[in-house]
Structure 1
């Protein structure tokens, strides 16, 4: 068996499809822990069984007419509901579109919970975030390792043409932003007579098998324009702030890109020199973002990276708020069954620790409450500029404080707002989120109603422009 494995140079992450070298314990792209059982159980059939390879997904995606693909891909599942399934084989039924579910370390140990009705309690064993067994000082907390960095992307020259999978050509106009893993460009479709903002689009590029692979699959599965429009009509909304992906393609066999309609500026750019936001603005933003999270969660996904950098305000339309950045999107409820609470399964997310959920600190796969926790931390920071753990760099110390204040919301508000101030909107939201169980479905309508009521008391309304 060891001789056979010695000839296998790489395998694929069952979460995002990234190609992995032998010895990797965590995926360098999505941070998911690689199941150890895959080594023993998958060797004999690696040549015969289909791996979760992005190349096979890409082949199936070529039949799509746009970024959102066809509905046929929705029939393909990467389910975790069968504990007898081979960890290397599972995830493919028709080798079309990869689902994002939590890989299991070992066989016969995975248990999934049925989702509960809105506002109800989860059946079966659940893990309270304040229970002794889930203390941030537990051993599993210290097992979480940071994901390895991927090579930085080199910027492309302005004027270069990119061709998407439908044959449309896009011209790079200007580099908007750059990070270690992504490039953002303003682009125009070739043949357009103007390069004004009205006719421009955004091109987002990343490593072909990196996190942008996750984002593309989320958009194709859960954020098709027809699905978003249907949700808007059903809930009598004016807008649902999910960016519209109008195309995708590849560059130099190493990069994958997505094309989006322009959605304005990021929240930090809009704030500019204003370091703090008025309470009315924060409550208004939160209501808009809750609408987006409600939709995402209802489609079996969580966002996984709720931060100010992923909140955009449409230029000229300050009532239009978008939540972007779905490269960390995670399918928490495959086939309608919630993944199990299990600590130490995922690497600690990269970047600032301020806004990640307590579940993330413990290496637990994100759930609905994880997104709402992160949004709560953002609310406090947008309005006050401080959090009790902002000055700390040790993840364990940050997790300890988050655990402490999760069980004492009044103390958290006192620390951030001051002893003489109070906010019914902040208090009601944070209290409700702190009480959520891992598998429990939040009552989005109740959360939004209380925030709206607090907004009205301050003289604000959801249909008026945001004030910065």
Structure 2
């Protein structure tokens, strides 16, 4: 079985080295490739690169013209690379259309997430494989969803993967590289709730002529697969078995629901292996560490407890695993209807409730800080500064005093006195007496008493009491 290559984001190596595969030279747009059945395929734009090769959109050429709206892709690798050879071998022997159709009928399945073999060929020094066109991969969806899937989405994907693995295992193979970037959505709108397991570049036979592979560590094969998800057995160099596929699937489920794995940031292979071995002895601590403050689903704990007990050569109970995942969907408050839900409504609602609404008209403005210092009060004297209201009252009264046609000083008609009376805690009073000829004298006394009250009284109450006394003397 070929060793794992570097991630798709790494730069391709110009020369073939140990553990690294040579990348093919780019092919021009519109170049035609001829498959083993003498059909011609026109290349479209490149849609992706992996550690082994490149993938292009492709259309079958009919009557000298390629079809519009490509519904296929072509995967191309140099002939010296091994992964596409292994993948092509699997499709030709175990994924023929009639085989998949027969299995679906036997298992009463509407959907099986294993692509059917279409055709392949050799183009110059390159090997190519024609496949159906698929939609987005789960890793991109995982990132778009804030690195978290709802339990319903994760378990629904898990159920479809169990069906796919049961078929692959029944053909005598193990996948050994299950991960989000190798699980694709269907391309057609009617297939939006369907996922497909692709990239069989690390596929291997677990069952030979003499029966099941022997449990024997091989240092030359140690750490095969994707480091983050590969099984403990693969770390030891043991040939993959059906149990290993389910261990890998379990790590994906934990990451999809919790957002992380305890060893995600560790890059050294032996350290990752040691952490996985440690957590295999206590699945509760593994799940608690993965989910942190969240409560982990008990179905995941039961799943790992079951997978850990599967013997190396034992056939897994696929129906039991699917029933466990269906139970997990119900426990999360959802119903099992086969629909994929990549955004958790409950989380969004909570976020919407806790997030204050912003004004649609203008952005929020921070309140200005009050830089004025409050007036200091003289502790040795009862004097207080005149308020603006007092000053306005004083000026008003002085103006009325000098006027030849003096008006009544009734508080009801003076707009400045009404707030003063309320601030003092009382109600505005109306002078019901007719001041007659004493009006001018009363005004002079009020002005004089107001000045005295401002200098001697602690507040407006003193002013009110002074005015009241002045009114009695006038009467």
TM-score (norm 2): 0.65
CA apart distance, 1:420: 5.3
Please name the residue that 1:103 is paired with: none
Please name the residue that 2:297 is paired with: 423
Alpha carbons 1:407, 1:434 under 8 Å: kept: no
- Is 2:77 the counterpart of 1:195? no
Q: Distance in 1 between matches of 2:265 and 2:159?
A: 29
Please name the residue that 1:163 is paired with: 34
What's the secondary structure of 1:327's corresponding residue?
A: coil
Q: Distance in 1 between matches of 2:203 and 2:226?
A: 18
Q: Distance in 1 between matches of 2:225 and 2:200?
A: 16
What's the secondary structure of 1:162's corresponding residue?
A: strand
- Per-residue CA deviation, residues 2-43 of structure 1 (Å, 9 max, x unaligned), is xxxxxxxxxxxxx6xxxxxxxxxxxxx457xxxxxxxxxxxx
Please name the residue that 1:379 is paired with: 253
CA apart distance, 1:162: 0.5
Q: Distance in 2 between matches of 1:442 and 1:147?
A: 35
Q: Larger Rg: 1 or 2?
A: 2
- Match runs of 1:110-121 below 5 Å: none
Please name the residue that 1:249 is paired with: 121
- Per-residue CA deviation, residues 164-208 of structure 1 (Å, 9 max, x unaligned), is 011110011110112342110100011266421xx4201011122
Q: Distance in 2 between matches of 1:261 and 1:462?
A: 26
Alpha carbons 1:373, 1:433 under 8 Å: kept: yes
Alpha carbons 1:302, 1:329 under 8 Å: kept: yes
Structure 1 pair 351/231, CA: closer, same or farther in 2 (3 Å)? closer
Q: Distance in 1 between matches of 2:193 and 2:39?
A: 32
Q: Distance in 2 between matches of 1:239 and 1:422?
A: 30
CA apart distance, 1:270: 3.2
RMSD value, Cα:
2.0
Structure 1 pair 328/352, CA: closer, same or farther in 2 (3 Å)? closer
- Which of 324, 329, 337 is equivalent to 1:450? 324
What's the secondary structure of 1:312's corresponding residue?
A: strand
Q: Distance in 1 between matches of 2:195 and 2:134?
A: 9
- Match runs of 1:132-281 below 5 Å: 147-191=18-62, 194-196=67-69, 199-209=70-80, 210-252=82-124, 254-274=125-145, 275-281=147-153
Alpha carbons 1:300, 1:336 under 8 Å: kept: no
What's the secondary structure of 2:144's corresponding residue?
A: coil
**More displaced 10-residue stretch of structure 1: 166-175 or 223-232:** 223-232
Count of aligned positions: 324
- Which of 323, 329, 344 is equivalent to 2:218? 344
- Which of 186, 193, 206 is equivalent to 1:332? 206
- Is 2:236 the counterpart of 1:362? yes
Please name the residue that 1:116 is paired with: none
- Is 2:165 the counterpart of 1:293? yes
Q: Distance in 2 between matches of 1:194 and 1:246?
A: 17
CA apart distance, 1:390: 1.4
CA apart distance, 1:267: 1.1
**More displaced 10-residue stretch of structure 1: 412-421 or 295-304:** 412-421
- Per-residue CA deviation, residues 382-408 of structure 1 (Å, 9 max, x unaligned), is 122211111212211111111111121
- Which of 143, 156, 179 is equivalent to 1:307? 179
Q: Distance in 2 between matches of 1:284 and 1:230?
A: 23
Structure 1 pair 442/147, CA: closer, same or farther in 2 (3 Å)? farther
- Match runs of 1:46-65 below 5 Å: none
What's the secondary structure of 1:290's corresponding residue?
A: helix
**More displaced 10-residue stretch of structure 1: 266-275 or 313-322:** 266-275
Structure 1 pair 320/336, CA: closer, same or farther in 2 (3 Å)? farther
Unaligned runs of 5+ in 2: 5-16, 344-475
CA apart distance, 1:379: 0.8
TM-score (norm 1): 0.66
Structure 1 pair 212/349, CA: closer, same or farther in 2 (3 Å)? farther
- Is 2:332 the counterpart of 1:461? no
Q: Distance in 1 between matches of 2:220 and 2:256?
A: 28
Q: Distance in 1 between matches of 2:144 and 2:340?
A: 19
- Match runs of 1:14-163 below 5 Å: 29-30=2-3, 147-163=18-34
Q: Distance in 1 between matches of 2:294 and 2:338?
A: 31
- Per-residue CA deviation, residues 84-113 of structure 1 (Å, 9 max, x unaligned), is xxxxxxxxxxxxxxxxxxxxxxxxxxxxxx
Which has the larger share of helix?
A: 2
- Is 2:276 the counterpart of 1:402? yes
Higher relative contact order by CA 8 Å / sep ≥ 6: 1 or 2?
Answer: 1
- Which of 278, 285, 288 is equivalent to 1:411? 285
